[in-house]
Structure 1
Amino acid sequence: MSSSIKQPNVITCKAAVAWGAGEALVMQEVEVSPPHPQEIRIKVVTTSLCRSDLSALDSHAIFPRIFGHEASGIVESIGEGVTEFQEGDHVLTVFTGECKTCRQCMSGKSNMCQVLGLERRGVMHSDQGTRFSINGKPVYHYCAVSSFSEYTVVHTGCAVKVSSAAPLEKICLLSCGLAAGLGAAWNVADISKGSTVVIFGLGTVGLSVAQGARIRGASQIIGVDTNPEKCDKAKDFGITEFINPNDCNEPIQQVSFT
């Protein structure tokens, strides 16, 4: 007896494909397979660019490959057994998933999931296969997300449903940099109200430290960077004073404000 449920087909779409270490990404057509059991296929609306993507691109990893591991998008189709998502749902992808059944997930430490942990081999968790191909040959994944593509396939445990009222272009995660910066401010430094904080380097992580320090109530947040163009933007994130070491005639530790 044939099933009345519409089965998704292979999709052809554009993706930024990496063909070798350090090589420029190539925009080209790829085939995206239908989602397997407990997987969803997503139309990617927004993706972040993380330093981890660039570092992996420069490494001697398996190629060809589609990078990107932080995205917002819309569920285009669902695989067999999927009950928590349906077509049209708005979602965020996560590169460290949660299976909800392993020992770590059951203990509340789902960031250490033993089933859907950080996948670096270029394949999917469930079958160690790929969902991308070009001319019948496999194109490998990155962190089992691969968001540098118009469509991608992820395990249901690597996606989170979000409100359709939230603009997808604004809620795409910057999870690596923000988590590192906020974690440094809250958990490592444990910044207290009224503290003076000095931040060396005002990239994504540094600005996230500034946000964390501001939320914790630091009274003085000093940003140090050799790029003067970062000054105004840094102040939007909580920096109260900006120092460019190239403008100083004395060691940075001896600089005072008047």
Structure 2
Amino acid sequence: MAIIKMKNNTSNAKDVTTAGKVITCKAAVAWGPGQPLVVEEILVDPPQKMEVRIKIHFTSVCHTDLGAWQGKNEAQRVYPRILGHEASGVVESVGEGVEDMKVGDHVVPIFNGECGDCVFCKSKSSNLCKKFRVDPLKSVMTNDGKTRFWTKQGEPIYHFLNTSTFSEYTVVDSACVVKIDPNAPLKTMTLLSCGVTTGLGAAWNTANVHAGSTVAVFGLGAVGLAAVEGARSRGASRIIGIDINSEKLARAETMGVTDIINPLELKKPVHEEIREISDGGVDFSFECAGNLDVLREAFLSTHEGWGLTVLLGIHTTPKTLPLHPMELFTGRRIIGSVFGDFKGKTQLPLFAKQCMHGAVKLDEFITHELPFSEINQAFQLLMDGKSLRCVLHL
């Protein structure tokens, strides 16, 4: 039975048993594309079979949240909705059948789940899952096709990316919840839900960057700098960072980038500059901007014969790849990476321990911290290119 410390109106703590009950809490609700998020009281149902209800302690804002909030993809325009997919917290209660977690466990929700039983989960060649893979169009729970969030007037509020972390409490499929070491700092573990894991995993798992290799990273936000960190930790000899934001370029130099390029200051295509300074092209490039023109530059910046481009940016337009099929006969390759090719429940706990022991400098990715009530300011910081990750305290 869950015992959660909650505060009453006189600020005196009291024990309230919440397991099996509907919880009233604060959440940031998106009511329409581009409209300011409204922090308001909502109702959160108890977890059903194979579900977990989590008390969120920290959450952060990612570009994927930003794009969904702006309504860039019309197919994702489902309202009202609770966005958010980077977070950390503590298990408040579990539904029937959940055996790998219990009340009080420290956890990280993940948007790309792992059931452990399907053909995808059993394959060593994929980190996707037949039932719980990332799906931006999904807005209800897998178990019964219903929501677990409600307005106080009884209207449904829809889910986002299997997680919906912009809420003091959220209900998540157990396949999308990872138990971590209770000694791990929850604030920094928040970053493992998406950004850092995605970028660093792309360097470690997807590309398998090796000592002495050369790398170009296009787009130096949190995902891009995580790819930089992954390449640096693997011993890459040269890491070229490309961005049009001078502040991001300056920050990148402190985080392992050896060369910086601002395309706005060049009189020739970026790929030509990269080929000149890297003896014909880099071994690996990472596209983290979600821009088709940038993707083409990333592809052409790699070396003929073996160059690999890893696609990480989210492309919301219906436009197709800007490549002629014959260009693939040069030996260059291109591949997409979801969640850094980490199997969430299987591999993330070990990655979290590696981070605890200093394998990744997580603190450097947190540029701002705000109370949850100022979530709209966190969105503005990201839009203005001022923040890597703004962590919100709930």
Shift of 1:248: 5.1
Work out the number of aligned pairs and report it. Answer: 253
Q: What are structure 1's unaligned runs of at least 5 residues?
A: none
Larger CA deviation: 65-74 vs 204-213: 204-213
Which segment drifts farther, 63-72 or 241-250? 241-250
Aligned to 2:165: 147
| Change over 3 Å in CA distance of 1:185–1:76 after alignment to 2 | closer
- Work out whether residues 199 and 221 of structure 1, in 8 Å CA contact, stay in contact via their aligned partners in 2: yes
* Cα distance change on mapping 1:27 and 1:182 into 2, 3 Å: same
- Runs of 4+ that moved beyond 6 A: none
Q: Which moved more, 1:199-208 or 1:119-128?
A: 199-208
Judge which range, 221-230 or 92-101, deviates more.
221-230
Question: Is 1:89 the equivalent of 2:105?
Answer: yes
Which stretch of the first structure deviates more once superposed, 43-52 or 127-136? Answer: 43-52
Alignment of 1:74-223 (within 5 A): 74-108=90-124, 111-119=127-135, 120-134=137-151, 135-186=153-204, 190-223=208-241
**Structure 2 gaps, min length 5:** 1-16, 278-394
Cα displacement (A) at 1:231 = 3.5
Aligned CA distance change for structure 1 residues 109 and 203 (closer, same or farther; 3 Å): same
- Read off the aligned partner of 1:200 and give its amino acid letter: F
CA shift for structure 1 position 84:
1.9
- Alignment correspondent of 2:49: 37
Distance 1:20 1:81, change over 3 A: same
Deviates more, 1:83-92 or 1:217-226: 217-226
* 201-210 vs 17-26, greater mean Cα deviation: 201-210
User: TM (normalized to structure 1)?
Assistant: 0.86
Contact (CA 8 Å) 2:87, 2:193: kept in 1 or not?
Answer: no
Distance 1:44 1:37 in 2: 20
* Alpha-carbon distance in 1 for matches of 2:221, 2:18: 46
- Per mean C-alpha deviation after superposition, the further-off stretch among 152-161 and 225-234 is 225-234
Equivalent pair of 1:225/1:244 in contact (CA under 8 Å): yes
Separation in 2, partners of 1:103, 1:251: 43
CA drift of 1:185 comes to 3.5
Aligned residue for 2:230, secondary structure, equals: helix
Write the letter of the residue equivalent to 2:140: V
How far the C-alpha of 1:209 sits from its partner, in A, is 2.4
Change (3 A) 1:97 1:32: same
- Does the 8 Å CA contact 2:108/2:193 hold for their aligned counterparts? no
What letter is aligned with 2:21? N
Specify the code of the residue in structure 2 equivalent to 1:103.
V
Deviation at 1:70, TM superposition (A): 2.2
The 1:77/1:110 distance shift into structure 2, 3 A limit, reads farther
- Distance change in 2, residues 1:6/1:142 (3 Å): closer
**Distance in 1 separating the partners of 2:200 and 2:59:** 21
Output the CA distance in 2 between the equivalents of 1:97 and 1:251.
39
- The whole-number CA distance in structure 2 between the counterparts of 1:156 and 1:180 is 21
| SS of residue in 2 equivalent to 1:91 | strand
Alpha-carbon shift at residue 35 of structure 1 (Å): 0.9
Rounded Cα–Cα distance in structure 2 between residues aligned with 1:6 and 1:233: 44
Quickly say closer, same or farther: Cα 1:110–1:249, change in 2 above 3 A.
Answer: closer
Q: How far has the Cα of 1:69 moved from its partner?
A: 1.6
Give 1:52 shift. 1.5
Larger deviation: 77-86 or 181-190?
A: 181-190
Measure the CA separation in 2 of the matches of 1:191 and 1:110: 18
Distance 1:247 1:160, change over 3 A: same
Task: Name the CA distance, whole Å, in 2 between partners of 1:18 and 1:91.
Answer: 25
Among candidates 15, 20, 33, match of residue 21 of structure 1? 33
Report the CA distance between 1:115 and its aligned residue.
2.2
Please give the root-mean-square deviation of Cα atoms over the aligned residues, in Å.
2.6
Shift of the 7–164 alpha-carbon distance from structure 1 to 2, 3 Å rule, reads closer
- The aligned amino acid for 2:216 is V
CA distance in 2 between counterparts of 1:68 and 1:99 reads 21
Q: Tell me the distance in 1 between the aligned counterparts of 2:236 and 2:122.
A: 36
What is the CA distance between 1:151 and its match in structure 2? 0.4
